[in-house]
């Protein structure tokens, strides 16, 4: 099959590109390299079935022809960091909502009608039901990021109804693994390299979060695409577990062989809009036969291992 992958040079996108190429598919990757890394595409660009389109999806033109002849679009291009919404409120609107609209319009123009979308567990805000099922009560958004992703979901499902599209919407927990370039493991690793004796922790360290290893995440998306045949298919993706930030700090410190003093900024939230407890009900995706192969601890350790052999990712960040 011929797939489009937007955000192809990103963390999840580049791993997905490699998997799709390995499975014998043709892949057209689109990225503007605003946060994506060319080095993540080192293998892909040498592959004859890969085409790279360097374009900004916030523009309305300049990339649509790439959509011609594709069977489906993995729309992963996004501002993927939930934490800085209040610093740059327009960024989530533009990168996540308007870009999704532009992708849908490019698809419509070229008669591509299947879209797989990286949404987020953040769309549940502070969910009243934990573990949170896909059908939980109509949520109140608590972050600009969640708001921008729920807007993307709305656009996509309206295109399903209005234009005969089919959609697979994935509400991710945080993803870990190779090519991970933002989030708590990234930040803690960098800080501990700078100062192994002391670690500043946002909040009280008791925030409970769930994580999923990137290859498990990709397995889940491909399973859902192969097996879920509704017009609108919505799946939580995560492991059947969660951990405290403090536990994660313990695993990271042990892997690095450091014993930092922990200084907490205090409060039960790490930042404005932080959700102190994220744990998704993944019964729906598991009913299709998918199971995560890696635990949260596995994911954290694999991420630390990746970062320790790829410290260039810290230098690339401005």
Provide the annotated active-site residues: 145
158 touching a second copy, by CB under 8 A: yes
Interatomic CA distance for residues 295 and 256, integer angstroms: 19
Distances (CA, A) of 200 to 84, 283, 302: 18, 36, 22
Residues 6+ apart with CB under 8 A from 90: none
Judged by beta carbon, residue 93 or residue 262, the one nearer a second copy is 93
Closer by beta carbon to a second copy, 264 or else 271: 271
x/- letters, 85..104, toward a second copy (CB under 8 A): xx--xx--x---xx--x--x
Q: Which of 81, 26, 172 is CA-nearest to residue 8?
A: 26
Our finding on whether 58 is near a second copy (CB under 8 A) is: no
Q: Which one among 62, 154, 266, 267 touches a second copy, defined by CB under 8 A?
A: 154
Q: Which of 151, 137, 34, 134 is CA-nearest to residue 98? A: 151
Among 119, 142, 253, 284, indicate the residue that binds a second copy (CB under 8 A). Answer: 142
Q: Could you give the count of Cα atoms lying within 13 Å of 19 in the half-sphere of its Cβ?
A: 18
Measured from the CB atom, is 11 or 145 closer to a second copy?
A: 145
**Token pair of 54, please?**
């360097």
Structure-block tokens of residue 191: 């800080």
Residues 227-246 close enough to bind a second copy by CB under 8 A: 232, 234
Q: If binding is defined by CB under 8 A, does position 135 make contact with a second copy?
A: yes
- Name the site residues for a second copy (rule: CB under 8 A): 85-86, 89-90, 93, 97-98, 101, 104-105, 108, 124-125, 134-144, 146-148, 150-151, 153-155, 157-159, 161-163, 232, 234, 272-273
């Amino acid at each position: 099959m011929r797939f489009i992958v937007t955000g192809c040079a990103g963390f999840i996108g580049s791993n997905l590109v490699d998997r799709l190429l390995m499975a014998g598919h043709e892949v057209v990757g689109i990225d503007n390299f605003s946060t994506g890394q060319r080095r993540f595409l080192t293998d892909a660009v040498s592959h004859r079935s890969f085409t790279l389109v360097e374009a900004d999806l916030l523009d309305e033109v300049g990339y649509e022809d790439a959509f011609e002849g594709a069977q489906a679009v993995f729309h992963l291009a996004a501002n993927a960091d939930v934490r800085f919404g209040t610093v740059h409120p327009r960024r989530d609107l533009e990168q996540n909502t308007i870009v999704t609209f532009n992708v849908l319009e490019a698809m419509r123009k070229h008669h591509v009608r299947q879209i797989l979308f990286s949404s987020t567990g953040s769309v549940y805000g502070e969910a009243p039901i934990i573990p949170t099922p896909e059908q939980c009560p109509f949520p109140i958004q608590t972050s600009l990021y969640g708001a921008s992703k729920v807007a993307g979901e709305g656009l996509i499902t309206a295109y399903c109804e209005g234009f005969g599209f089919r959609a697979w919407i994935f509400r991710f927990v945080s993803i870990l693994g190779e090519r991970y370039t933002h989030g708590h493991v990234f930040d803690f690793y960098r800080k501990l390299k700078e100062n192994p004796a002391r670690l500043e922790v946002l909040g009280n360290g008791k925030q409970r979060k769930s994580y999923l290893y990137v290859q498990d995440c990709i397995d889940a998306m491909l399973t859902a695409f192969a097996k879920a045949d509704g017009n609108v298919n919505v799946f939580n993706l995560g492991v059947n577990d969660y951990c405290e930030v403090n536990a994660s700090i313990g695993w990271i410190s042990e892997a690095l062989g450091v014993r930092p003093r922990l200084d907490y900024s205090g409060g039960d939230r790490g930042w404005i809009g932080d959700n102190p407890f994220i744990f998704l009900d993944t019964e729906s995706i598991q009913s299709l036969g998918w199971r995560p192969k890696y635990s949260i601890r596995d994911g954290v350790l694999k991420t630390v291992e990746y970062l320790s052999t790829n410290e260039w990712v810290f230098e690339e960040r401005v």
